[in-house]
Amino acid sequence: MKTISTLLSAAVISLISVSASQATTQASTVFHFDMKKNTDNFEVRASGWSDPKFGDLGWVHSSDWGTFNAVKGQVVTITMTSSETGFHPGSTVYFRGADDTADNSYIPDVALTQTATMAKWGASNDDTGEPLGDIVMKYITHGYDGDGAVADVAGDLITNTFKKINDGVPGKLVIKFKAPFTGLYEFVSGGYKPAPTINKAIKHIVKVKVIVK
């Protein structure tokens, strides 16, 4: 029964992550991608998307953020590339629909969950008390660069559920999906499973390109 309860708890967590006690935070930069500006350089830390020292959660401020608009049925391709040997990008895509009334720079918590919807209703600015609205970031998809990444740890139920994407090119991650909704999408990019030679104390450049068609 303990095993079943654990699995059920994990299943519930994977559906939605609700922030009730932690502080709402604001991403320092959110780049909007469109047809005219479809590339940008993200600055992220090597364990920004998932940090084993942080319970395998990610850090909002150790990652970088982008938005784009898509119509239901359009194909979205997000390409993230690092030129540093041993750096592996990870990314999660969310949808911010009509039930999300806050500015898209606001995130429910300083911690990000890679495989779940993140939400905080009635969010407010912790410094001023100003109402921000509802933050509802519906989980769409995720993945990380598996080419040359450190092997999974046996028995790690959290990180072993992450979607490994292999294309034969270490340092490159391509996330491709068909948009299930019409509206604004937001995605986060950070590092995951870096090689020991990668400096975890600084931010690294990841080139990002978004194509919607």
The pLDDT tens digits for 127-164 are 788 999 999 999 999 999 999 887 655 444 455 689 99
Under a CB-based contact definition with an 8 Å cutoff, are residues 9 and 109 in contact? no
Q: Which residue has the tokens 């990870």?
A: 90
> What average pLDDT does this structure show over 116-135?
92
Give residue 13's pLDDT. Answer: 39
CATH top-level class of 2-212: mainly beta
Instruction: Decide: residue 185, CB within 10 A, 0-12 exposed, 13-18 middle, 19+ buried.
Output: buried
Tokens describing residue 1: 């029964």
Q: What pTM value is reported for the model?
A: 0.88
Under a CB-based contact definition with an 8 Å cutoff, are residues 211 and 77 in contact? yes
> What average pLDDT does this structure show over 181-200?
97
pLDDT band at 23 (very low <50, low <70, confident <90, very high): confident
What is the DSSP code (8-state) at residue 105? Answer: T
Angle at 143 between CA 138 and CA 144, to 5 degrees: 140
Give residue 165's pLDDT. Answer: 96
pLDDT band at 10 (very low <50, low <70, confident <90, very high): very low
pLDDT digits (tens, 9 = 90+) for 30-65: 999 999 999 999 999 999 999 988 888 999 999 999
> What average pLDDT does this structure show over 6-23?
46
pLDDT digits (tens, 9 = 90+) for 86-101: 999 999 999 999 999 9
Give residue 6's pLDDT. Answer: 30
Give residue 18's pLDDT. Answer: 53
pLDDT digits (tens, 9 = 90+) for 61-81: 999 999 999 999 999 999 999
Under a CB-based contact definition with an 8 Å cutoff, are residues 112 and 92 in contact? yes
CA distance 110 to 131: 18
Give residue 8's pLDDT. Answer: 32
Give residue 4's pLDDT. Answer: 31
Angle at 149 between CA 210 and CA 204, to 5 degrees: 55
CA distance 84 to 88: 9
**Which among 208, 213, 202 is positioned nearest to 44, based on CA atoms?**
202
Start-to-end Cα distance in the chain: 48
Mean pLDDT (the chain) is 88
Tokens describing residue 17: 């992550």
> What average pLDDT does this structure show over 14-19?
52
**Of 148 and 5, which is predicted with more confidence?**
148
φ, ψ at 86 (rounded to 5°):
100, -5
